[in-house]
Amino acid sequence: MKSLIALLAALALSACGSDPYRNLYDGIQTNNDAKRTPSERAMTPTPSYDEYKKEREGAPKE
């Protein structure tokens, strides 16, 4: 029984992905986009996680 619990715990942790912050950002972005109108989304699209991360780290934009 203990080995089954350990196996399930290992599987649950591996499902978290390599970057939990990306998943969190994507979830918040999706929630905020759902609240905006289609015209608002077209005029000012939200940046992707990679763009956000570059901006946050201070890397120059390409």
Over residues 2-47, the pLDDT tens digits come to 777 876 776 666 666 667 788 889 999 999 999 998 888 889 888 9
C-alpha 52/C-alpha 29 separation (Å) is 11
User: Would you state the structure tokens that stand for residue 4, as one six-digit string?
Assistant: 């089954």
In the chain, the largest separation of any two C-alpha atoms, in whole Å, equals 55
* Residues 41 and 33: beta-carbon distance below 8 Å: yes
Phi and psi at 37, nearest 5°, equal -80, 160
| pTM, 2 dp | 0.58
* Residues 1 and 9: beta-carbon distance below 8 Å: no
Q: Is the pLDDT of residue 62 over 70?
A: no
Name the amino acid, one letter, at 15: A
